[in-house]
Amino acid sequence: MKFQWVEKIPVADPEIVLRAMEDRLRTVSSEVVREGDRITLMGLGPSPRAMNRRDRTVIDVKVEDGFTMIAADIAYQASSLLGDAPQDAVVRAKLERVFAEMREELGVKAVSARAVEAHREIAKAPPADPEPFHELPKMRFAAEVPVTPPPSFPEVKVETVREEKPAVLEPAAAVAEPAEVETKYEKATVSEPIPVVERAEVKAESEKPAMVVEVQVPEPKIIAGVANKSDEEKAIKDGVVTVPVVAKEEKEASALLPKPVVAVPAKVAEEKKATVSKEKTSPGVPKISRLVAAPVSQPESVEEEKKSSRLLQWSAWVAAFIVLVLAPAAWLYLPRGSHGDSSAPQQTQPGPTTQPTGAAAAESAPAPVASVDVPVKEQEPTGMVKDWEAALQSTDATKQAGFYADPVDRYFLRHDVSRASILADKQSQIGKRADGWSVVMEQIKVQQKDDTASVHLIKHFTIRKDGKLTSQWYVPSLLQLKRADGRWQIVSERDLGWANTLDELE
């Protein structure tokens, strides 16, 4: 089944539209390939559960009159899971969601090409005859005429009824018994409107106290401390609440008083009694004066302790400086003097001695050996690809991300991707793997030039269940490698297509 889709985006640069479309299509399917101004999407179909790789969507982008035109050819297979539901409606809904997200990312509103053509046809059509539009309001107005009078009509009836009641009662006054009944009825009719008026007046009067109730009483003020009882009574009358405040002298005295002791000698007890009697006889003397007069030796000891601690800290810093700086410098200086002394007698010897020179060469050998081992660690691009394949077979995402540069110029459809983002993507892929999943790199072709290389290969994916092959597919890919510090790293990875067999790729 096939259908076409056309979108018109008010953006003059098609590259911006293509990048935004690639990112949005990636959310629908991972099989997205871009070739120039064309994007091919695999897996956009009506099936709600699985992705059919035979569903293919080809999108072409071009510029016309300052607008970017998007033409999509959608081909898909019907799904039996939908039943009688329209197949194309599901596919259109998915595609509409992709284009809506793309427009939101670009910050523009797309104009459908079909809508533009329909608008042009409507504009060319002759204007409609205005006569029927004049007749419609007349008919509606005529229908509304009988509806408007009913609210005023009962009011007229009520007034006439009130006027007719006394007219009916006047001729019936000749009969005694009926007259009493009728007069009672008149009183009832006259008394009905009166209570209504009284209730209205009562409501109006009842609203007046509501205004008085809303007046708020001022909150009582809080004053810290009142000296005399007369002042307290005045404050209560004025609506002022007094809060007792402890004097500063009493607080400081309580803070400086010593803690109680369990056992007190007799002499101390006698001294305390004497001081208490003095306090009773001389109440005007403040308590703080007696406490301040006592000698205070604790602050001096604290200062001495601080001075001693500072001296200890300075001595510790000096010792650390000697150990960490002067000792390594002396250690580096001493070996140089010893080597100079050992080399002097070797030069003054009359005959050539091979054994001492061999020992000296053995001591200095590690430096050149390390430089010789560096090229041995270097790998060819093919070997690096095989190591990368082995890492992809495992579930170690950190090891897989270690084969990529930081950052990567291109990672499938994204540009300038950091290694942390690649690590997160690898972890997500490992979590989505099916049981029995594997990948093998086939048909590896390397084109190397100095420290760069281009590798064309085919990723052969397979899924096995109980040892039997259940599904397989092939993905041609292009890798760009760069050598840094004798190690090849991936700087670009792209998938160039998808097929169920190798014959389809040919």
Question: How would you write 339-355 as a 3-class SS string?
Answer: HHHHHHHHHHCCCCCHH
Question: How many alpha carbons lie under 13 Å from residue 257 in its C-beta half-sphere?
Answer: 10
The whole-number average pLDDT for the span 81-85 is 74
Q: Evaluate the omega torsion of the peptide bond into residue 407 and state whether it is cis, within 30 degrees of 0.
A: yes
Contact 397, 430 (CB under 8 A): yes
Contact 488, 482 (CB under 8 A): yes
* Residue 69: exposure state from Cβ atoms within 10 A (0-12, 13-18, ≥19): middle
What's the chain's average pLDDT? 67
Task: For residue 397, give the nearest of 417, 418, 377, 421 by alpha carbon.
Answer: 421
Q: How far apart are CA 318 and CA 84, in angstroms?
A: 89
* Residue 45: exposure state from Cβ atoms within 10 A (0-12, 13-18, ≥19): buried
Q: What one-letter code names the amino acid at 396?
A: D
The yes-or-no verdict on residue 447 having pLDDT over 90 is yes
Per-residue model confidence (pLDDT) at position 150: 55
Residues with Cβ < 8 Å from 224, sequence gap 6 or more? 243, 245
Q: What confidence tens digit (pLDDT) does each residue in 157-205 have?
A: 445 445 554 444 444 444 444 444 444 444 444 444 444 444 444 444 4
The whole-number average pLDDT for the span 28-32 is 82
Q: How far apart are CA 455 and CA 451, in angstroms?
A: 13
Say whether pTM exceeds 0.85. no
Q: What confidence tens digit (pLDDT) does each residue in 87-123 have?
A: 788 888 888 888 888 888 888 765 544 544 454 455 4
Q: What confidence tens digit (pLDDT) does each residue in 373-405 have?
A: 434 456 789 999 999 999 999 999 999 999 999
Cα angle 419, 422, 425 (rounded to 5 degrees) comes to 155
Contact 17, 11 (CB under 8 A): yes
Q: Which two tokens stand for residue 438?
A: 């594997």
Q: What confidence tens digit (pLDDT) does each residue in 223-275 have?
A: 444 445 455 555 455 554 444 444 444 445 455 554 544 444 455 455 555 55
Cα angle 189, 193, 199 (rounded to 5 degrees) comes to 140
Q: How far apart are CA 437 and CA 470, in angstroms?
A: 10
Contact 291, 327 (CB under 8 A): no
